[in-house]
Amino acid sequence: MSGVLLRLRPVVHATPTGNGVHVRGWRSSFTLDGGRGLWTIWERLAAPLADGVPPERLVAPEGAAPVVARALELLIGQLREHDLLVEVPAGWGGGGDGQPPPDIAGWLESVAARPVEAWGLLRAARAEVVGEGVLAAAARRALVATGVEVAAVRPGPGLLVVVGAHAVAGGCAGDVGFVVAPGAVGEVLADAAGVAERLSGGAGEPPEVLAALVASAAAHRVVCAVGGLPDPSTEVVDMWHDVPPGGPPQQAVLVARLDPLRAEYHPWLSVVRPREAGGVPLEVLGDEELGPVATPLPGALPQLPVKLAASGEVVGFGVTEHSARLDALLRAASRLAPEGALIGADRVHARGLALRAAVRGLPGEVVAGREWSGDPTARRWWKAVVLRFALPAEVEVTRLAPEVVRAVVRCGGVELSWAVEASAADAVAFAALAAAGRAQVERAGGVGWASGPVVLCGAAPVATPDAAAAPWTNRDWHWPYGLRDVEEAFQEGVRALAGEVEPVDLGPVLTAAGLVAFR
């Protein structure tokens, strides 16, 4: 072979638009507008690129009209910018003389930055497969099909594929199977044991179709690791709901199930190889397959006047579904934390909870009811307690410092809830919201789900509500949105009363999920 060619990646597709062309690849796309003639120019460009063009010839031909030359320049520039062109040797992909078969060559051209180097790594690799039955046999077939040499299969539990320094482990039983992220042998085996325990898929010989899916996915992940290719879990479909949550990624585990046959990647909070803290706690901790706490959902719980969400036997409260789900998740996660730790969704939230708890019992001056009763938000939630749920409740409001106010709601001498905020209105609103939530849960038959005083506060992160910036809206429309913006300043005043609070180590799982705790 001699010479180098630039080819259009096989995954690239294009469609004409009303005024140009739309081109899309595996991970990116672009649209050019400029007239319907762009589609004709694209067809003339794409045809030779499918077979390969020497780099020096990938320019507008001499004598081309300026408008055509400009269109070609834009198309070629966009193809380069979006990594839709790949460099291969002339004669690549024919299947002879050590070349990959056409299907493997096409796959490498689609996903590899340098297909020839990736093929060389695969050709030099030697895999070891540990497993039994259809699971091990399917993994061996998939590896051989990619050009990887495979040693004799050794018997063992589950599935372990080792290629040099890279290993992948998985398992399959009953109606569920899984594949953990590539790593060192000890790490993947430890993660596989944890995932298997979490899924509890049963025992016995797995169905052949499920075993083939799991084994092929394991082979795919280890081959990508060996060849320096992106892990399959990082693939993103061009849809908003397929984009992974923000923040540092967690370990990704493929979970496959039957009826119907399906497979999806789920975040795994690994104990042996935790990732940097961050991410979205709701999506990670409450993941429906691998989360350490039950997915917080409204379910059949009543949603008026307080939004409710349950995570197992724990119920969370909020003014929106998102805030209720987050509250439920944090309450459930608290059961996994050291005793006395106050868990927040982030550092500001956790410190705010701890500082409020520290000043909860301090003496202060009684605040007259007129200072908060005229506030629509405080009045709304207090009316929910005493009118909607008809509780013979009373609220005690005390000023601990010029801008630190405590509100405590009691019923029959039993403390239902408390809050500490910068204003009497906000303190009463949070305390009454929590008390109303408790009453709502009990009316729904959930006695004991919310045992003990409930604490809600303005330190919790709140999603931006719709129309929050509209000129006709005020705090009554989207409370408690906006309190978080002044939370850190409020905490300075509370700290003057309480002193410093100490951080609490939550361990690798909760920390990697982005949670923080103080006491």
241 pLDDT tier (thresholds 50, 70, 90): very low
- The residue from 276, 303, 331 where one domain ends is 276
On whether both 76 and 208 belong to a single domain, the answer is no
On whether both 75 and 134 belong to a single domain, the answer is no
Asked, for residue 188, whether it belongs to a domain, the answer is yes
Q: What is the pLDDT of residues 32-52, one digit of tens each?
A: 898 888 998 899 898 889 888
On whether both 271 and 131 belong to a single domain, the answer is yes
On whether both 148 and 99 belong to a single domain, the answer is no
The predicted pLDDT at position 431 comes to 95
- The residue from 260, 276, 292 where one domain ends is 276
Average pLDDT over residues 89-109: 81
The whole model's pTM is what? Answer: 0.80
Q: How far apart are CA 190 and CA 392, in angstroms?
A: 54
On whether both 15 and 112 belong to a single domain, the answer is yes
On whether both 239 and 258 belong to a single domain, the answer is yes
On whether both 140 and 201 belong to a single domain, the answer is yes
The predicted pLDDT at position 68 comes to 86
Cβ(417)–Cβ(397) under 8 Å?
Answer: no
The predicted pLDDT at position 272 comes to 86
211 pLDDT tier (thresholds 50, 70, 90): very high
477 pLDDT tier (thresholds 50, 70, 90): confident
Cβ(443)–Cβ(500) under 8 Å?
Answer: no
Asked, for residue 310, whether it belongs to a domain, the answer is no
Q: Is 40 left (phi over 0), alpha (psi -120 to 50) or beta?
A: alpha
The residue range of the domain holding 215 is 126-276
> Which range is least confidently modeled, 130-139, 228-237, 378-387?
228-237
The predicted pLDDT at position 226 comes to 93
Asked, for residue 329, whether it belongs to a domain, the answer is no
On whether both 147 and 111 belong to a single domain, the answer is no
Asked, for residue 87, whether it belongs to a domain, the answer is yes
On whether both 3 and 75 belong to a single domain, the answer is yes
Query: Beta partners for 410?
Result: 394, 415
Asked, for residue 178, whether it belongs to a domain, the answer is yes
On whether both 105 and 222 belong to a single domain, the answer is no
| Six-digit token string for 383 | 């009316």
Asked, for residue 239, whether it belongs to a domain, the answer is yes
- The residue from 76, 99, 124 where one domain ends is 124
Cβ(301)–Cβ(316) under 8 Å?
Answer: no
On whether both 484 and 393 belong to a single domain, the answer is yes
CATH code of the domain containing 12: 3.90.930.70
Q: Count of CB atoms within 10 A of residue 61's CB?
A: 10
Asked, for residue 287, whether it belongs to a domain, the answer is no
On whether both 107 and 156 belong to a single domain, the answer is no
Cβ(320)–Cβ(449) under 8 Å?
Answer: no
What is the percentage of the chain residues whose pLDDT exceeds 90?
Answer: 46
**Residue 450 reports pLDDT greater than 60:** no
Cβ(163)–Cβ(126) under 8 Å?
Answer: yes
**Residue 328 reports pLDDT greater than 70:** yes
Size (the chain), residues: 519
| Six-digit token string for 111 | 């996903």
* In 125-278, alpha helices (H): 133-145, 185-199, 208-227
Asked, for residue 225, whether it belongs to a domain, the answer is yes
The residues, any chain, with a CB within 8 Å of residue 86's CB and separated by 6 or more, are: 6, 7, 8, 9, 109, 112, 115
Q: How many domains does the chain have?
A: 3
The predicted pLDDT at position 210 comes to 93
